[in-house]
Chain A
Amino acid sequence: MQEYLDIVRQYDVLGAFWVNIQLAFWAAMLSLALGSVLALFRISPIGSLQWAGSAYVTVFRNMPLTIIMVFMVLGAWGQLELSLSTDFNTNFFWLAVIGLSVYHAAFVCEAIRSGVNTVPIGQAEAARSIGLSFLPAARLVILPQAFRGAIAPLGNVLIALIKNTTVAAAASVATETSSVMKTMIEFRSDYIYAIFFTFAIGYVILVTPIGLLTTSLSRSLAVSR
């Protein structure tokens, strides 16, 4: 047991989880912002914006995340020379955040849109009838109700996002959990099961509260009609 704890400390397992939490946090913020804009596009009265929104969703939702992450490193950074930091590791971290964000924004968009579908059309008509144009009506009337209706699906996207941060390994983020786990197993294969369960259970502990929280929030914030 003591040896196991030493290994966990030696390879900084908690630090590895902290990297994934940070990846998840920034990707959640960015994908929420981008996904909300995409959802606005998709419900807007302007045809070309609707088209752009649904084209984005179709492309990124149906593309493997690993390929996006590899592109961020080999394509965006390697070929297009997109550099987000002079520090090597920080640069890969943010490339991974962007890869995760563009991918999950498609799912966020669809979650919000499912929330919009819980808002009766009469709400939009009433908003327009008092003279609100599209953006104020969306901001003041439709989206506040849509977000409440979208909490459960948004929670599912967040859960997927947290677990998908492990794909950052494909974007050369070497300090995150799946990379660290691989290294640990490589050097301490005598502890392979313990190492494996440490990470598996770690994610269960990390993700479970999110599911519980979103379920209770979606109940308590539900719009009564």
Chain B
Amino acid sequence: MDSSGSARAAGEHLGAPLVELERVNKHFGDLHVLQDIDLTVRKGEVLVVIGPSGSGKSTLCRAINRLETIDDGDIRIDGEPLPAEGRDLARLRADVGMVFQAFNLFAHKTVLENVTLGPRKVRRVPKAKADEEGLALLDRVGVKNQADKLPAQLSGGQQQRVAIARSLAMHPKVMLFDEPTSALDPEMINEVLDAMVQLAHEGMTMIVVTHEMGFARKAADRVVFMADGQIVESATPEEFFTNPRSDRAKDFLSKILTH
């Protein structure tokens, strides 16, 4: 067993519950995409959500900052129930970082402007200070020399690292990653995963929807396996990958591990 994995698996570094989902249900028409989901993520925890496509894992991730509304159940962030549309919701979203599969960098703004927009317009940080902090964040994810370019001039891997920096600039309590490497060319996946692993080791609370098992083993405290809108299994990465309990998980793992 990987040594950092075992240290994290002990769970001693974890704090109080930060994201709590209780009996969360959601339908898309007749499709019951989230079925009575109960899930608690503690401060400092890195949770990987894995599962076949259509299992509801992306919807789960998006529901946490209310990009998807839920039909019933409760979602609490840091003890506060998720507000309905409006100013309170905007305030909550500022505290919840989100990294998308398609990066979604603001196409008409430079890389640095992408990172500083939130701090300046939401947190009211003065421009000079926001720029300074933005450049430091870009440096941290290794794209400082691209600061004045437009997103379309960057590679996918660089864009995704900028997206991570953009989220970090808000000093979020928790970060959500919705398949952050699925749209990337293979040679760019590691540069993004490295940034995420670094973040995990710095103690960021993270919920990561991904199929990257290397990342799960290296950085995750816990793996949740979803299928057909339900959480089927929840275990440490080592347990889950070496000894899955449910047939669904065994079947899924055999499919992604064959090649």
**Interfacial residues, chain A to chain B (CB-CB below 8 A):** 45, 120, 122-123, 125-133, 136, 140-141, 144-145, 148, 223-225
Contact = CB atoms under 8 A, between A and B. Distances in A.
A155 B131 CA distance: 37
A130 B107 contact: no
A88 B183 CA distance: 65
A125 B87 contact: no
A223 to B, nearest CB: 5
Interface string B137-169: 000000000000010110000000001001100
B170 interface: yes
Contacts of A132: 90, 117-118, 121-122
Given A130-B93, A130-B94, A223 B107 contact: yes
16 contacts: A45-B85, A122-B104, A123-B107, A125-B104, A126-B100, A129-B167, A130-B166, A130-B167, A130-B170, A131-B95, A132-B90, A136-B121, A136-B122, A145-B107, A148-B108, A224-B150
Given A122-B100, A140-B121, A225-B107, A128 B150 contact: no
Contact of B104 (A126, A144, A145): A126
B108 A223 contact: yes
B96 interface: yes
Most chain B C-beta atoms within 10 Å of own C-beta, residue among A126, A129, A131, A141: A129
A122 B97 contact: no
Contacts of A131: 90-91, 93-95, 118, 122, 170
Interface residues of B, number: 32
- Nearest first, the 10 A-B pairs at minimum CB distance are A131-B94, A130-B118, A122-B104, A126-B104, A129-B98, A133-B90, A224-B152, A131-B122, A223-B107, A131-B93
B106 interface: yes
A141 to B, nearest CB: 6
Nearest to B90: A133
Contacts of B118: 130-132
A136 B122 CA distance: 9
B87 A133 contact: yes
Interface of B: 65, 67, 85-87, 89-91, 93-98, 100, 102, 104-108, 117-118, 121-122, 150, 152-153, 163, 166-167, 170
A78 to B, nearest CB: 45
Nearest to A124: B104
Contacts of A225: 107, 152
Contacts of B86: 133
Contacts of A127: 106
B90 A128 contact: yes
Contacts of A120: 102, 104
A126 B90 contact: no
Contacts of B94: 130-131
Nearest to A129: B98
A152 B179 CA distance: 36
Nearest to B119: A130
Contacts of A45: 85
A225 B95 CA distance: 27
A126 B94 CA distance: 11
B101 to A, nearest CB: 9
A224 B97 CA distance: 25
A150 to B, nearest CB: 13
Nearest to A148: B108
B147 to A, nearest CB: 17
